[in-house]
Structure 1
Amino acid sequence: MKKQTLHNIVTTFKTQFASEPTDMFFSPGRVNLIGEHTDYNGGHVFPITLTLGTYGVAKRRDDQLVRLYSVNFPELGVISFAVDDFSKMPAHNWVNFIKGVLKALADLGYVIDQGFELVIEGDIPIASGLSSSASLELLIGVVIQKLFGLKIPRLQLVMAGHQAENDFIGVKTGLMDQFSVGFGAPNTAIFLDTNTLGYRLVPVILRNFEIIIMNTNKPRSLVTSKYNERVNETQQALTALQTELPIKSLGDIDAVTFEAHQQLIKDSTLLKRARHAVSENQRTIEAVKELTHGDLVAFGALLNASHASLRDDYDVTGIELDTLVTAAQAFPGVLGARMTGAGFGGCAIALVPQQSRSRFQEQVGARFHEVLGYDASFFAVQIGPGAQWIGAVKTL
Structure 2
Amino acid sequence: MMESSPTQGIIGYICGSDGLDSSGLSSSAAVGLAYLLALENANNLTISPTDNIEYDRLIENGYLGLRNGILDQSAILLSSYGCLLHMNCKTKDFKLIRPLDMGNSLKSEKQKEYQILLAFSGLKQALTNNPGYNHRVAECQEAAKILLNASGNSHMEPLLCNVEQEAYKAHKSQLEPNLAKRAEHYFSENMRVLQGLEAWASGRLEDFGKLIAASGRSSIVNYECGAEPLVQLYEILLRAPGVCGARFSGAGFRGCCLAFVEVEYAAKAAEFVRTEYMKVQPELAAQINPKTAVMICEPGDCAHII
TM range (shorter): 0.7 to 0.9
CA deviation map 1:281-324 (0-9, x unaligned): 22112111111111123212211211111101111022112111
Taking a change above 3 Å as real, the CA distance of residues 232 and 315 of structure 1, as seen in their structure-2 partners, is same
**Which of the residues 277, 290, 297 maps onto 2:186?**
277
Structural mapping, 1:126-141, within 5 Å: 126-141=21-36
CA contact (8 A) 2:227 2:253 kept: yes
Once the two structures are TM-superposed, the CA of residue 116 in structure 1 deviates from its matched residue by 3.1
Taking a change above 3 Å as real, the CA distance of residues 213 and 204 of structure 1, as seen in their structure-2 partners, is farther
Taking a change above 3 Å as real, the CA distance of residues 289 and 257 of structure 1, as seen in their structure-2 partners, is farther
Higher percent of residues as strand: 1
**Unmatched 5+ residue regions in structure 1?**
1-104, 391-396
**Which of the residues 306, 320, 342 maps onto 2:215?**
306
Taking a change above 3 Å as real, the CA distance of residues 154 and 333 of structure 1, as seen in their structure-2 partners, is closer
Identify the residue that residue 364 of structure 1 maps to in structure 2: 273
Pairs aligned (count):
283
Structural mapping, 1:238-253, within 5 Å: 238-245=144-151, 246=153, 248=157, 249-253=159-163
Q: Distance in 1 between matches of 2:247 and 2:10?
A: 41
CA contact (8 A) 1:321 1:348 kept: yes
Q: Distance in 1 between matches of 2:6 and 2:183?
A: 42
336-345 or 372-381: which moved more? 372-381
Identify the residue that residue 39 of structure 2 maps to in structure 1: 144
Structure 1 segments (4+ residues) deviating >6 Å: none
CA contact (8 A) 2:9 2:42 kept: no
Q: Which amino acid aligns with 1:258?
A: Y
Structural mapping, 1:192-231, within 5 Å: 192-203=87-98, 207-225=112-130, 226-231=132-137
CA deviation map 1:328-362 (0-9, x unaligned): 21234421211121112211122222222222122
Q: Distance in 2 between matches of 1:174 and 1:262?
A: 24
CA contact (8 A) 1:251 1:278 kept: no
3-state SS of paired residue (2:253): coil
CA contact (8 A) 1:251 1:281 kept: no
3-state SS of paired residue (1:338): strand
Taking a change above 3 Å as real, the CA distance of residues 283 and 256 of structure 1, as seen in their structure-2 partners, is farther
Higher percent of residues as helix: 2
Q: Which amino acid aligns with 1:330?
A: R
Structural mapping, 1:228-377, within 5 Å: 228-245=134-151, 246=153, 248=157, 249-253=159-163, 257-265=167-175, 267-373=176-282, 374-375=284-285, 377=293
CA deviation map 1:62-103 (0-9, x unaligned): xxxxxxxxxxxxxxxxxxxxxxxxxxxxxxxxxxxxxxxxxx
3-state SS of paired residue (1:126): coil
Taking a change above 3 Å as real, the CA distance of residues 171 and 180 of structure 1, as seen in their structure-2 partners, is same
CA RMSD of aligned residues (A): 2.1
Q: TM-score, normalised by structure 2?
A: 0.85
Q: Distance in 2 between matches of 1:272 and 1:242?
A: 17
